[in-house]
Amino acid sequence: MSTIESIETIPIRVPLDRVYSGSYYRMRSRCTIITRVRTSDGVVGESYNADADEEQMEIVSIIQDELRPRLVGKPAMNIESAWKSMFDVTFDQLRDRRLPMQAIACVDSALWDGLGKAMGQPLYRIWGGFRDQMPVIGIGGYYGIDDQGLRDEAGFFLEQGFAGMKFKVGGRPPAEDARRVKVVRDYVGPEFILLCDANQGYTTREAIEFALLTHDVGLRWFEEPCIWYDDKRAMREVRLTTGIPVAAGQSEWSGAGMRELMTRGSIDVSNFDASWGGGPTEWRRVAGMASLFGVEMAHHEEPQLALHLLASIPHATYVEVFTPARDPIFWNLLVNRPEASEQAFPLTDAPGFGWELDEAYIDKHKVV
């Protein structure tokens, strides 16, 4: 039986051309960790995920110092067993448990890629193969650009053949945010899908006000509308009061957290992130639970993972992609990056995740 021989990590950091501002956060760099798991039969499972910046080297340390010793010499295809062994490192209550969950996600993703390569099958088929293409939307609407900049951004997604755009709100009064969204709706027309993401920026009252002000926009969903400290109750109130579907989950890092969102009736759409929440193994548990609650599945960013995960299930929504300026890693690291056709990304027969990474780009941006 093939065993795990080594685990390699390469942290990547790419400075952005400007500061990207959401409701209360600022992004100055785009980061990721490339993880490679080598097995005794010569297979190299490879992934890139975990976009933490300041915490990046701590995540790398957890992988190398805590996860690697637990896995080297163990069967490479026993992924559930590997996941349980790794999960034990989250029991340390004196540190932020989100960090080991991101570390687990890196290794878990690479293990799945290796399994796909060993079987000669793409992961979306191994996981269920419900479809062979996924609708794709862009992410934009960041603060710091004028109305024409918003139109240009939406125009880029239209030119790329995307189905729609997720728009950042929550950092301005609801009336101003509603005005910004309507600038884009007037530009793109009625068929282009629009979604809004407040990144936990509004009070409950403000979220309801924004939803009422945009009732004629036809929002597909309203993501993380309410401030974090009581958001489960608040999101339920927003979705029941306004009738607009509510999406959340990226701020949860475990299936147990997602269970609470579903049992409390807080969400219509889960955007649980496999890169932040323990990898594809945990994400697929959440997807199974969501199907029983009638909750749709999205994925927070990370299209290189989301494409396969979402294509494998019937209750999926959209793959999300930033502009090249906001996510230079996706647009430059993947040699065989997909291109949209009929508003969707196609999946291929390439085994595992099927991505070919640009080694020159890695060498240029690796953290040393």
Tell me the average pLDDT of the chain. Answer: 97
pLDDT band at 1 (very low <50, low <70, confident <90, very high): confident
Q: Which residues contact 69 (CB under 8 A, 6 or more apart)?
A: none
**Which pair of tokens denotes residue 313?**
């299930």
Rg over alpha carbons for the chain, rounded to the nearest Å, is 20
pLDDT 10s digits, 16-40 = 999 999 999 899 999 999 999 999 9
Domains of the chain in sequence order = 4-120+359-365 (3.30.390.10), 125-346 (3.20.20.120)
List, in sequence order, the alpha helices (H) in the chain. 56-62, 68-71, 79-87, 98-119, 123-126, 147-159, 174-188, 204-213, 231-242, 255-263, 280-293, 303-311, 328-333, 359-365
What does each C-alpha distance from 251 to 139, 254, 337 come to in angstroms?
Answer: 17, 9, 27
SS3 38: strand
**Which pair of tokens denotes residue 147?**
């109305």
Distance of CA 276 to the CA centre of its chain: 8
State the average pLDDT over residues 279-286: 98
Distance of CA 25 to the CA centre of its chain: 17
C-alpha span between 242 and 81 (Å, rounded): 44
C-alpha span between 273 and 141 (Å, rounded): 21
C-alpha span between 316 and 229 (Å, rounded): 28
CB atoms within 10 A of CB 61: 13
pLDDT band at 83 (very low <50, low <70, confident <90, very high): very high
pLDDT band at 52 (very low <50, low <70, confident <90, very high): confident
C-alpha span between 302 and 72 (Å, rounded): 27
The answer, yes or no, to whether residue 126 has pLDDT greater than 90, is: yes
pLDDT 10s digits, 309-368 = 999 999 999 999 999 999 999 999 999 999 999 999 999 999 999 999 999 999 999 998
Q: Which residues contact 127 (CB under 8 A, 6 or more apart)?
A: 280, 284, 308, 309, 312, 313
Which strand ranges, in their side-by-side order, compose the sheet holding 26-39? 4-21, 26-39, 44-49
Does the pTM surpass 0.85? The reply is yes
pLDDT 10s digits, 127-184 = 999 999 999 999 999 999 999 999 999 999 999 999 999 999 999 999 999 999 999 9
Instruction: Say what the pLDDT of residue 339 is.
Output: 96
Cα angle value 113/114/116 (rounded, 5°) = 65
C-alpha span between 336 and 72 (Å, rounded): 30
Instruction: Say what the pLDDT of residue 368 is.
Output: 86
The answer, yes or no, to whether residue 106 has pLDDT greater than 90, is: yes
**Which pair of tokens denotes residue 366?**
């690796």
pLDDT 10s digits, 231-257 = 999 999 999 999 999 999 999 999 999
Instruction: Say what the pLDDT of residue 51 is.
Output: 83
